[in-house]
Amino acid sequence: MDRQTLIDNTSLAQRRRAATSLGVGVATDIYPVRAKNAEVWDGEGRRYIDFAAGIAVLNTGHLHPRVQAAAKAQLDQFSHTCYQVLPYAGYVELAERLNALAPIEGPAKSLFVTTGAEAVENAVKIARAATGRPGIISFNGGFHGRTNLTMALTGKVAPYKIGFGPLAGGVYHAAYPNALHGISCADALASVEALFKYDIAAQEVAAILIEPVQGEGGFVPAPAEFMHALRALCDRHGILLIADEVQSGFARTGKLFAMEYFDVKPDLMCIAKSLAGGLPLSGVVGRAALMDAPVVGGLGGTYGGNPVAIAAALAVLDVIEDEDLCRRADAIGARIKARLGALAARVPQIADVRGPGAMVAVEFMQDGEPAQAFLGRVKARALELGLILLSCGVYGNVIRFLCPLTIEDTVLEEALDILERSLLDAGE
């Protein structure tokens, strides 16, 4: 097989369709051979600006030199032992650092696993073990993973749940506040209270699971009023509050964690995605007494807290601090919002621009309805011009911006110029 066959996008797309499950949705037929920071090059020599970042995995960019060096150094020592057999110092050091950084009340402890869904599942296990209760409440529009339990927790049917039932029991959904779609904080809180009346007694609920900024749901931030009310409700009924920070964590929102925007502390917090700069690593951080509730041996996993990923994560924390990526996120987000704001008069489909820090999204509406077709034209035109964009939202009418926080100013401006042209071209 010659090299051209290996790197030709069209040939690889045909081979992909023949060899891999079509159940895995693929957003583009671009096959990268090289990437650096916010830029990707395919095998045909074409360059793209990456505003997807592996779906929020690369806050520190593709192959940040310090993250790359840390992973290589660990590979020179050992790649795997299974922490449950031969524990290692990096796991302990990362736990110590995150315990000190996480917005958790009192002493904290951590657990490391591999995927965001695995982090959520373990948070649910810990909550049930600590409370002795079975029920979990999550929210419409929320996304928590693709395993059986996390599919049940996810508040969107298509495409995540179709044909995969029956799903795990003990899960109940409440409304998530979304002013653009007519759901107030009062409505959302009333829906939680309605669950207590019609579906499950409050004293049977172990935890309420919430994304402080919904990810797949459309980058919708939880209002502070709502988060405060949830904390009070949990305290009143002995329910734990779990924050799913899988997509919003590690400086994306202008804070290390989005929960820092609220004078509210979760009992447990799920982390993943940008934690390890592109390597698979996730975890749960929580109040020490809760984290110790499961029986010894009840938590773990063969690859959980892989030492190479742990080394990368330690470097990621250093980069976030040394390069002040929280402040950088605010600056990037301000520039994206300013450009979209300036275009609003010329692009009437822009209904809302929102999100903290660089967790920014734009929602499109036309004639009072979600404008999915317009979004499709914007994405397609941007890709033609060399900008990779991702959509999200319950109605599929939201573009989310997930450029690396390390993106160079010149590359950011180039991307925003492409975005502007794409928006204007899509409306013609």
**pLDDT tens-digit map of 327-363:** 999 999 999 999 999 999 999 999 999 999 999 999 9
Angle at alpha carbon of residue 228, lines to 101 and 199, rounded to 5°: 110
- C-alpha Rg value of the chain to the nearest Å: 21
Residues 51 and 174 in one domain: no
Domain extent at residue 414? 3-63+324-426
Number of compact structural domains in the chain: 2
Residues 180 and 209 in one domain: yes
Residues 239 and 198 in one domain: yes
Predicted confidence band of residue 422 (pLDDT cuts 50, 70, 90): very high
164-177 mean pLDDT: 96
278-298 mean pLDDT: 98
Residues 13 and 148 in one domain: no
Tokens representing residue 259 in the block: 């929960």
CATH at 9: 3.90.1150.10
**pLDDT tens-digit map of 305-324:** 999 999 999 999 999 999 99
Last residue of a domain, one of 322, 337, 358: 322
The per-residue pLDDT for 427 is: 84
Residues 130 and 255 in one domain: yes
The per-residue pLDDT for 378 is: 98
Residues 284 and 334 in one domain: no
Residues 272 and 336 in one domain: no
Q: What are phi and psi of 337, to 5 degrees?
A: -65, -40
The per-residue pLDDT for 2 is: 44
CATH at 133: 3.40.640.10
Residues 166 and 284 in one domain: yes
Residues 419 and 313 in one domain: no
For 315-375, give the secondary structure using H, E and C: HHHHHHHHCCHHHHHHHHHHHHHHHHHHHCCCCCCEEEEECCCCCEEEEEEECCEECHHHH
With pLDDT > 90 as the criterion, what percentage of the chain qualifies?
Answer: 96
pLDDT beyond 90 at 400: yes
282-297 mean pLDDT: 98
Question: Distance (Å, rounded) from C-alpha 212 to C-alpha 257?
Answer: 9
With pLDDT > 70 as the criterion, what percentage of the chain qualifies?
Answer: 99
Q: What is the pTM of this model?
A: 0.96
Q: What is the mean pLDDT of the chain?
A: 96
The per-residue pLDDT for 327 is: 98
**pLDDT tens-digit map of 13-42:** 999 999 999 999 999 999 999 999 999 999
pLDDT beyond 90 at 232: yes
The per-residue pLDDT for 6 is: 57
Residues 187 and 91 in one domain: yes
User: Taking every pair of C-alpha atoms in the chain, what is the biggest distance, in angstroms?
Assistant: 66
The per-residue pLDDT for 8 is: 87
Last residue of a domain, one of 322, 355, 375: 322
Last residue of a domain, one of 322, 349, 381: 322
Residues 404 and 293 in one domain: no
Residues 94 and 136 in one domain: yes
Q: Where are the alpha helices (DSSP H) in 34-184?
A: 53-56, 65-75, 89-101, 116-131, 148-153
